[in-house]
Amino acid sequence: MRILLASAIALTVVMAAGCEKPKSPDAVARDVAAAEQKASTEVANSEKEASKDIGNAADKVGDKLTDLNNVAAKDAEKVAVAEAEGDRKVALAKCSALAGGAQKKGKDEADAEYTAAKANAKADAVSAKQ
Protein backbone atom coordinates (compact mmCIF):
# COMPACT_ATOMS: atom_id res chain seq x y z
CA MET A 1 0.00 0.00 0.00
CA ARG A 2 2.86 2.37 0.85
CA ILE A 3 4.50 1.56 -2.47
CA LEU A 4 1.27 2.40 -4.29
CA LEU A 5 0.92 5.66 -2.39
CA ALA A 6 4.56 6.58 -3.00
CA SER A 7 4.20 5.75 -6.71
CA ALA A 8 1.09 7.92 -6.98
CA ILE A 9 2.86 10.84 -5.29
CA ALA A 10 5.93 10.45 -7.51
CA LEU A 11 3.78 10.27 -10.63
CA THR A 12 1.90 13.42 -9.57
CA VAL A 13 5.16 15.30 -9.01
CA VAL A 14 6.53 14.21 -12.39
CA MET A 15 3.33 15.16 -14.20
CA ALA A 16 3.17 18.52 -12.45
CA ALA A 17 6.75 19.22 -13.40
CA GLY A 18 6.02 18.25 -17.00
CA CYS A 19 2.99 20.56 -17.20
CA GLU A 20 5.05 23.63 -16.52
CA LYS A 21 7.65 22.88 -19.15
CA PRO A 22 7.05 25.07 -22.22
CA LYS A 23 6.84 23.44 -25.62
CA SER A 24 9.36 24.12 -28.32
CA PRO A 25 8.46 26.71 -30.97
CA ASP A 26 8.20 23.97 -33.61
CA ALA A 27 5.80 21.96 -31.47
CA VAL A 28 3.73 25.08 -30.77
CA ALA A 29 3.65 25.93 -34.49
CA ARG A 30 2.46 22.38 -35.33
CA ASP A 31 -0.21 22.51 -32.60
CA VAL A 32 -1.40 25.93 -33.75
CA ALA A 33 -1.52 24.81 -37.40
CA ALA A 34 -3.44 21.66 -36.44
CA ALA A 35 -5.89 23.67 -34.31
CA GLU A 36 -6.41 26.20 -37.11
CA GLN A 37 -7.01 23.41 -39.63
CA LYS A 38 -9.49 21.70 -37.31
CA ALA A 39 -11.29 24.98 -36.63
CA SER A 40 -11.42 25.75 -40.36
CA THR A 41 -12.86 22.32 -41.10
CA GLU A 42 -15.46 22.66 -38.33
CA VAL A 43 -16.50 26.11 -39.59
CA ALA A 44 -16.79 24.81 -43.15
CA ASN A 45 -18.92 21.88 -41.97
CA SER A 46 -21.11 24.20 -39.89
CA GLU A 47 -21.58 26.55 -42.84
CA LYS A 48 -22.49 23.61 -45.07
CA GLU A 49 -25.07 22.36 -42.56
CA ALA A 50 -26.46 25.87 -42.07
CA SER A 51 -26.81 26.31 -45.82
CA LYS A 52 -28.60 22.97 -46.06
CA ASP A 53 -30.92 23.85 -43.17
CA ILE A 54 -31.71 27.25 -44.68
CA GLY A 55 -32.44 25.62 -48.02
CA ASN A 56 -34.81 23.13 -46.41
CA ALA A 57 -36.55 25.88 -44.48
CA ALA A 58 -36.88 27.97 -47.64
CA ASP A 59 -38.44 24.99 -49.43
CA LYS A 60 -40.95 24.62 -46.62
CA VAL A 61 -41.76 28.33 -46.74
CA GLY A 62 -42.15 28.09 -50.50
CA ASP A 63 -44.55 25.18 -50.12
CA LYS A 64 -46.56 27.07 -47.50
CA LEU A 65 -46.66 30.15 -49.70
CA THR A 66 -47.92 28.05 -52.60
CA ASP A 67 -50.61 26.56 -50.34
CA LEU A 68 -51.59 30.03 -49.19
CA ASN A 69 -51.84 31.34 -52.75
CA ASN A 70 -53.91 28.33 -53.82
CA VAL A 71 -56.33 28.79 -50.92
CA ALA A 72 -56.58 32.51 -51.68
CA ALA A 73 -57.33 31.75 -55.34
CA LYS A 74 -60.03 29.24 -54.42
CA ASP A 75 -61.59 31.65 -51.93
CA ALA A 76 -61.52 34.48 -54.48
CA GLU A 77 -63.37 32.17 -56.85
CA LYS A 78 -65.98 31.44 -54.17
CA VAL A 79 -66.46 35.15 -53.51
CA ALA A 80 -66.81 35.91 -57.22
CA VAL A 81 -69.36 33.11 -57.66
CA ALA A 82 -71.31 34.35 -54.62
CA GLU A 83 -71.37 37.85 -56.10
CA ALA A 84 -72.53 36.45 -59.45
CA GLU A 85 -75.27 34.47 -57.72
CA GLY A 86 -76.39 37.59 -55.88
CA ASP A 87 -76.44 39.62 -59.10
CA ARG A 88 -78.42 36.86 -60.80
CA LYS A 89 -81.01 36.76 -58.03
CA VAL A 90 -81.41 40.55 -58.18
CA ALA A 91 -81.76 40.44 -61.97
CA LEU A 92 -84.32 37.61 -61.78
CA ALA A 93 -86.29 39.53 -59.17
CA LYS A 94 -86.35 42.56 -61.47
CA CYS A 95 -87.44 40.35 -64.36
CA SER A 96 -90.48 39.21 -62.42
CA ALA A 97 -91.95 42.67 -62.93
CA LEU A 98 -91.80 42.18 -66.70
CA ALA A 99 -94.34 40.34 -68.82
CA GLY A 100 -94.06 37.57 -71.37
CA GLY A 101 -91.09 37.70 -73.73
CA ALA A 102 -89.36 40.52 -71.87
CA GLN A 103 -89.41 38.43 -68.70
CA LYS A 104 -87.93 35.41 -70.50
CA LYS A 105 -85.31 37.59 -72.19
CA GLY A 106 -84.36 39.12 -68.82
CA LYS A 107 -84.06 35.65 -67.21
CA ASP A 108 -81.96 34.40 -70.13
CA GLU A 109 -79.64 37.41 -69.85
CA ALA A 110 -79.33 36.96 -66.08
CA ASP A 111 -78.51 33.27 -66.56
CA ALA A 112 -75.95 34.04 -69.28
CA GLU A 113 -74.25 36.70 -67.18
CA TYR A 114 -74.17 34.31 -64.23
CA THR A 115 -72.64 31.52 -66.33
CA ALA A 116 -70.04 33.90 -67.75
CA ALA A 117 -69.17 35.25 -64.30
CA LYS A 118 -68.74 31.70 -62.94
CA ALA A 119 -66.50 30.79 -65.88
CA ASN A 120 -64.39 33.93 -65.39
CA ALA A 121 -64.07 33.21 -61.67
CA LYS A 122 -62.99 29.65 -62.40
CA ALA A 123 -60.46 30.80 -65.03
CA ASP A 124 -59.04 33.41 -62.65
CA ALA A 125 -58.69 30.80 -59.90
CA VAL A 126 -56.97 28.33 -62.21
CA SER A 127 -54.51 30.95 -63.47
CA ALA A 128 -53.75 32.10 -59.92
CA LYS A 129 -53.07 28.60 -58.60
CA GLN A 130 -49.50 27.37 -58.58
Query: What integer pLDDT is reported at residue 120 of this predicted model?
Result: 92
Q: How far apart are CA 39 and CA 115, in angstroms?
A: 68
**5 part of a folded domain:** no
**121 part of a folded domain:** yes
Residue 116 near residue 88, CB atoms below 8 Å: no
Q: What is the residue range of 87's domain?
A: 25-128
Count of domains forming the chain: 1
**59 part of a folded domain:** yes
- DSSP-assigned states of every residue in 58-119: HHHHHHHHHHHHHHHHHHHHHHHHHHHHHHHHHHHHHHTTS-HHHHHHHHHHHHHHHHHHHH
Query: What integer pLDDT is reported at residue 119 of this predicted model?
Result: 93
Tens digits of pLDDT across the chain (130 residues): 566 556 667 666 656 655 567 888 888 889 999 999 999 999 999 899 988 988 888 888 888 888 888 888 899 999 999 999 999 999 888 888 888 888 889 899 999 999 999 999 999 988 887 6
Query: What integer pLDDT is reported at residue 62 of this predicted model?
Result: 82
